[in-house]
Amino acid sequence: MEPTQASYFFSNRQTLEIIQGDLTEQKVDAIVNAANSQLMHSGGVAAAILRKGGEIIQTESDAWVKAHGEVTHAKPAYTHAGRLPCKMVIHAVGPMWGSGDEEAKLTAAIRGSLELAEQLELTSIALPPISTGIFGFPKEKAARVFMQTFQDYFDQKPKSSLNIVRMIIIDTATFQIFLNQFQKTFKIQ
């Protein structure tokens, strides 16, 4: 049977994990929501987060957009987590496939989420495979972007407050694609 979890330790002992599981059950400081720019949590990962976390997430999201405007790829928003087992939800806007410059936009969304977590002085974060669902980003390309972004981030920020970065993928086919890229990038057998 294939593993449902793998870990990589950077030289500064920060841990990158890839796990098949439910994002809404993660006991970390923050989970990342694959959001749209208006923070309307009506489908996919966003709807699952809202269902489990409660209406406070949508209420705070509406207030965020009213105060700050639409969310961009590089500058995610954040809200409290309601009934979720984490403290915060970081709302990252990934690119829709076909919108142009998708890889740079996805890199910005991932990096922006990590940077916001650090600004909030968080030590652990869990991310879904942003943009690979209804936004149509090819999963193999997304897996490469994610792993390269994680590697670059921790190479450039060895003193990051983030001790645990976790990729959480619910479906087996997508998990296997990301796990294969994880093993290739970090040379794990």
Indicate the SS3 state at residue 143.
Answer: helix
Relative to beta strand 88-93, strand 124-127 is unpaired
C-beta atoms surrounding 2 within 10 Å:
9
Contact call for residues 182 and 147 (beta carbons, < 8 A): yes
Instruction: Give the position of tokens 């599981």.
Output: 21
pLDDT on residue 46: 92
Topology of domain 5-185 in CATH is: Leucine Aminopeptidase, subunit E; domain 1 (3.40.220)
End-to-end CA distance of the chain: 15
Instruction: Return the pLDDT at 189.
Output: 66
- The answer to whether the predicted template modeling score (pTM) of the entire model surpasses 0.85 is yes
Q: Which residues of 146-170 are buried (b: 16+ CB within 10 A; e: fewer)?
A: bbebbeebbeeeeebebebbbbbbb
Domain borders along the chain are 5-185
CB 130 within 8 A of CB 169: no
Give the pLDDT means over successive 10-residue stretches in the chain (189 positions).
76 90 96 96 92 96 97 97 97 95 97 97 97 95 97 92 95 96 89
Tell me if 93 sits within 8 A of 73, measured CB to CB: yes
pLDDT of residue 1: 38
